[in-house]
Chain A
Amino acid sequence: MEKYCEITKDNYKSYVFEKMPKSSHWKNMFWAFLIGGTICVIGQAFIELYKLWFSIEDASVLASGTMVLIAAILTGLGVYDNIGRFAGAGSTIPITGFSNAVVSPALEFRSEGYIYGVGAKMFLVAGPVIVNGVTISVIIAILTLIFGG
């Protein structure tokens, strides 16, 4: 590497950064778009299906529940992590990703029992999302109250 005529402790991090293989952003975005979009299309199809019998509000809730259930089953069958390996955010961001984030530690820590294992570790991954989501909602609600809306 001609740029680094001498690799030292100081320039080591930038030397490594230049040398390391990078994730292909275009490829990742393509798969995230395709898989994430497909998940949303399936969700929409369930809404349309449930609308045949229920109101739009109820149909939406039922469709979300169905998607969570499907993702939980796929996690249990060991399929969801394979999808996530190339879909990235495409399978993390939809509600199915949340289901995967709760079910996977629950399965993993089943070996430590229902209290200290499943109970304590179930929200290992999803916990920060819930805590930060609730905190930010409260902050936004206060701001809305103060500045009107």
Chain B
Amino acid sequence: MDYYKKRTLTFPNSYVIDGYTVAGPKENDGRYKGFFDLALEDDMFGQNTFERAERKMFEHAIDGVIGKANLTNADVDALVGGDLLNQIISMSFSARKQHAGFLGLYNACATFAESLIVGSCLLNNGLENVVCIAGSHFSTAERQYRYPLELGVLRSPVTQWTATGVGATVLSNQCETSTPKVTRATIGRVVDYGIMDANNMGAAMAPSACDTLVTFFKDTETSPDDYDAIFTGDLGKLGSDILLDLTKQEGYDISAKQHDCGASLYWDEQQTYQGGSGAACSALVFNGVLLGRLRKGEYKRILLAGTGALMSPTTSFQGDSIPAITHLVEVCF
């Protein structure tokens, strides 16, 4: 593998064969209505617990993307991905039904971008087909990270709404037809600017997004002008505003190019305040929306910067600040 300078890698043969998305009902009522392969009418998905529902969404997405890419389960060499729950149970349990090797990942909401990086690395080491996957479920995340669902509390205006959905991508080391490619990536480092408020994840993550983006531009000697769009994961509206200030300070004006998967997921009337959060945001938008736009030629080169807040309720109660990470992939067609 060609090591670029510092934290940026290049991938000569990481082809994006196809993507598949399973979205919750609220997500399919949002701005990207109709973009998803499977939209649930009920977020219980016919199961008796929300955890089982999330697991079933993962199982569906894995089988769905394998079928869409005209492969069989036996063709898949490895499965890489994760979710937000403790011990990444949704991902691990859904991998039981697969033959492929499995690498469980956790980088909070940056997990999808992380899975594309790990998957691309595996392709450079002889594997042929890899499924990269990440997702989250509002009701399982809410009770793990915050309050019971039916508790009547006033939500802070800086909060975001954990998106329900799973997005999966098949990456292959060869493709006969023309298809988007993951060409470069920057591995994020953990950045902590001392934000303590677990509601304000956008502010906690923005410095890490700035760090990774600036590192990528410096390492590759590119600028925001070289890209059609820069999609951040789930900074939300406030986090995006902060990112624009921070990157401008570093000499890169990304205001014309930056979009946030989370902030754009819902309509304002859906009362999500700063927009969506969760591993599902970038996984849903990349597989449901961006791949299509790349194929149609609306975009030629894009950056996807998955952002993750790495706190847990334990660290928050113990008075620790929120560390954050951002992984970035460059996708070209």
Contact = CB atoms under 8 A, between A and B. Distances in A.
Contacts of B241: 19
Contacts of B121: none
Interface of B: 48-51, 143, 147-158, 193-195, 200, 203, 207, 238, 241-242, 245-246, 249
A114 to B, nearest CB: 15
30 contacts: A7-B245, A9-B194, A9-B207, A12-B193, A12-B194, A16-B200, A19-B238, A23-B157, A78-B150, A80-B150, A81-B150, A81-B153, A82-B152, A84-B153, A85-B153, A85-B155, A86-B154, A87-B152, A87-B154, A91-B152, A92-B152, A97-B152, A100-B151, A100-B152, A104-B152, A107-B150, A111-B48, A111-B49, A111-B50, A111-B51
B149 A7 contact: no
B198 to A, nearest CB: 14
Given A20-B158, A107-B148, A108-B148, A12 B153 contact: no
Contacts, number: 97
A81 B149 CA distance: 8
B332 to A, nearest CB: 32
Nearest to A24: B157
Interface string A69-101: 000000110101111111111011000010011
Nearest to B157: A21
Interface residues of A, number: 42
B157 A12 contact: no
B154 to A, nearest CB: 4
Interface of A: 1, 4, 6-7, 9, 12-13, 15-16, 19-23, 28, 75-76, 78, 80-89, 91-92, 97, 100-101, 103-105, 107-109, 111, 124-125
B45 to A, nearest CB: 14
A89 B200 CA distance: 21
Given A16-B203, A78-B150, A108-B143, 13 more contacts: A4-B245, A7-B245, A7-B249, A12-B195, A19-B238, A20-B203, A100-B150, A100-B151, A104-B149, A104-B152, A108-B148, A125-B147, A125-B148
B253 to A, nearest CB: 15
Contacts of A6: 249
Nearest to A21: B157
A11 to B, nearest CB: 10
Contacts of A97: 152
Nearest to B246: A7
